[in-house]
Chain A
Amino acid sequence: MDFLARIYLPGVLALGGALLFALVALAAYVQLLGREDDDATRAFARRAYGFFVLSVVLGAGVLFVLLLRRDFRIEYVSQYSGAELPWFYQFSAFWAGQKGSFLIWLVAGSLLGLPLRRAAGREEAPVMGVYLLTQLGLLFILVRESPFVMLSQTPVDGSGLNPLLQDPWMVIHPPIMFAGYAASAIPFSFAVAAMFRRRYDRWAHLAFPWALGGFLVLGTAILMGGYWAYKTLGWGGYWGWDPVENASLVPWLLGTVLIHGLHMERRKGRYRRANLVIACLLYFSVLYGTFLTRSGVLADFSVHSFVDLGISGWLIGLMAFFMLGGAYLLVTRLPSVPTTKSEDPLLSRGGFMVLSTITVGICALVVALGTSAPLISRLWGPPSQVGPSFYNRVNLPIALLVALLLALVPYLSWQGNAPREVARRLTWAGVFALVATAAAGFLGVHQPLHLLFVLLAVLALGSNLQKTVDKVRQGGLRAAGGYLAHVGVGVILVGFLASSAYDQSAKVTLEQGVPKRVEGMTLTFNRFVPRNGDQKERMEVSVVRSNGSRYLAYPQLFLNDRTQQVMAHPHVKSLLLQDLYISPIEYDPGEPAAARRLHLRKGEEATVAGTRFRFLGFDLNAEGNALQAMQQGGVVAVGAKLDVVREGRTERVLPLYRFTPAGEVDARPLPLTGGGEVLLAGIDASSGAVQLEVRGVEPRAAGPRPKLAVDVTRKPLIGLVWYGLYVVLAGGILATAQRLRDAFVLERAGV
């Protein structure tokens, strides 16, 4: 049985079982369609779904155990794990490859189905049917490209995990991202189910908390990714407009559009058709992003370099199936969707929400087009990508418009307002924004567009903050979620502008011990700090700021043991108003000091540059008995007891000389506390003398000194990006809590 020898049976059985149970559950839900009172079929379908979840979780468990056991027979394990990889990074290894990431996506998706089937209420059959189809798509890929393939020959060790992925953030960031992707299938399922059944009155209520939840999870994942890139990877920023980053941003923006659209549909019964379209687009954008980043079509355009695993065909097939199916339903059903004919007055909450939502939608479209540039440009020439400047330029007017609309929305009512009244309510926020703009101008923001940006962003912040406070006073915290999130958006916008347009950076080469002025600070490269246990090699740089305060920065630059890659981690000092970002570029150890050779008999001493070395005698028991080891033919270790006297202080050291009868010698330099090192280079048993090599105890000669090249960047107000995102997410959590309660109340009432 050749086939059986090439697969790991328990894992394949688990995934095969999952496929079987998913198909059974799908068939049962199809049976249940139109016969909602058939409790036996419902119970059967639910049980089948439960077994599907169990099988998926089991499959993932098997892969994880294989990783933990470092079972290198398994191709996936040998590709992404290694004997020396610590156990917690086996999580990162789990989702380091394509197959593992599809598996964790499926785990998240199948688990989300458990609460979903209850929450869907009377829509359970169609919603779960569609949702199961989305799960089956992933499952087909996993069955086709199984992570449980075995190698014909078992390697001694695996290739190890890419050192860039050996980071605590990589343990938690990807599963949250995939949970967000998995959640995007839920509003899609509700929308398709609604169109399929031609029942449009409830789906917005039911889908709303899920859309909000997915938005939160994806937002959290994006935040983590940005933070990881900024703090650990040393990419110099939190966002690079890389295709992989954009592939998560577009669904998040469309999620933003969807939650606002659903909010309006719930309140006013309007925009039903638009919401159905958006819910479909949201899921399509996830599929399309997955195709772009995982099929290898953008391999030459992304730092996250993915190669084609041979699944492009599958991904295209999946996309085609869902897009064509969704499009067919939309085209055939939309004309008959009942809508209200009346229109909102322009200067009303509804009118402005529509405008701002459309603007965010345009932003999503622009980002999606930019990311697709390598595909689009093939139409007329060589494949080309657009640089970050495209996104920055095009998004500037979008951000300005969003900020303006956000500032006005809280003080508009659904019925429409008189312009004078709106202006009156904005007085305080307006004064606040003017003061902030004047302050920005005073601090060096002179470009008119940037000043307008600050004005509008702070206006949005202020007006929503005022409204949040009002709401909290009136009805408790929960009604304030939306406004609070908009406060966060204002904060983020200010952070974006300050940290991207007003950062200042300089590259300097620091000679050891020589202070240098950079960006109003004085930097001195003190020393290279050798590896100490788990603490990798790092550089010590003392920084004196213009106000006289000082701190020690430790940018890291070290060789990864396995791959011999140079790894660099920046040092980030977060101050109240700015971050000081010191990124190591290159370390030049300079010329090692010349060695002085000393030949000493027992009791003799010699002086090197004011440091006295006295040889006290051999230590034959430094590592077990040396004479015994010599008779047995093992490794013989002989120590030389030395007194090192420098500036009146005496240090007792014991450098070792190890050798084998075969003639292999191992002697290592022993660092001295006052600087420099001593090495036991040879022993002369007949005369009882030692040969010592002494380095680095004298003040440095004229030879080149060690040099450290660093990139020093001041990033003003970058903290606002993080704090703003926290506020947005906090607002989102409040809103979700509120809507979840509404949804359950609605379900109980049996509407």
Chain B
Amino acid sequence: MKRRQLYLLGTVLLLAFAGFAFTSFRQTLTPYVSFDEAQRMGRTLQVAGALVKGSSSYADGALSFTIREPKTGQTMRVRYRGIKPGNFEDAISIVAIGRYAQPAQVLDADKLLVKCPSKYQGIEQTEVKTYG
């Protein structure tokens, strides 16, 4: 009898944990979206674009730069307060993860993923994937 109660307790705990894990999963998902969608969504998301050469500047502890969406040619200003990635200038494509700040018209990025030119991978052109 006692053992059955313990199993029951274990199952309840496991289910509770599964629910907790599932909601955490849904809440921390950062969808990969187009620039258009990014400006409409008020949540953490990620966008990818090509760095517009010469658009980056550093002021007040933040790195700012512009990226261009390959498909539409749309541009977006990105602000990043972290440590500048080592191969930033060299990037062909930058993935910015963050939230779009409507009043400032800028994507506040928490994290940047920098894609180096494919010369290190030995393939002439890396297609920049876009979704949405």
A residues in contact (CB < 8 Å) with B: 75-76, 79-80, 96-97, 159, 161-164, 233-236, 299-303, 305-307, 343, 346, 362, 366, 369-370, 373, 377, 381-387, 389-390, 393-394, 397, 507-509, 563-568, 583, 585-586, 709, 711
Contacts and interface: CB of A to CB of B under 8 A. Distances in A.
A668 B6 CA distance: 82
B83 A583 contact: yes
Given A394-B21, A585-B84, A709-B58, A307 B123 contact: yes
Contacts, number: 132
B14 to A, nearest CB: 8
Contacts of A370: 25
B86 A568 contact: yes
Contacts of A96: 120
A541 to B, nearest CB: 16
Contact of B30 (A80, A385, A397): A385
B116 A373 contact: no
Nearest to A559: B89
Interface string B43-77: 01010100000000010010100000000000000
Of all A-B residue pairs in the complex, the 5 with the closest CB atoms, nearest first, are A79-B122, A507-B61, A390-B28, A384-B31, A384-B29
Contacts of A583: 83
Nearest to B37: A382
23 contacts: A76-B122, A80-B122, A97-B121, A159-B119, A162-B120, A164-B87, A234-B83, A300-B95, A302-B113, A305-B113, A307-B123, A346-B6, A370-B25, A373-B29, A384-B29, A387-B28, A387-B44, A390-B24, A564-B90, A565-B87, A565-B90, A566-B84, A586-B63
Nearest to B118: A307
Contact of A566 (B25, B29, B31, B86): B86
Contacts of B120: 79-80, 96, 159, 161-162
A393 B23 CA distance: 11
B32 A382 contact: yes
A75 B126 CA distance: 18
Contact of B129 (A164, A300, A566): A300
Given A159-B119, A300-B48, A307-B118, A236 B83 contact: yes
Nearest to A563: B90
Contact of B31 (A343, A377, A394): A377
Contacts of B3: 343, 346
B28 A386 contact: yes
Contact of A382 (B28, B87, B119, B131): B131
Contacts of A387: 28, 30, 44, 97, 110-111
Contacts of B33: 382
B61 A509 contact: yes
B37 to A, nearest CB: 9
A364 B131 CA distance: 29
A164 B21 CA distance: 35
Given A390-B24, A394-B21, A507-B61, A381 B90 contact: no
A235 B30 CA distance: 21
Contact of A233 (B27, B81, B86): B86
Contacts of A709: 58, 61
A233 B129 CA distance: 27
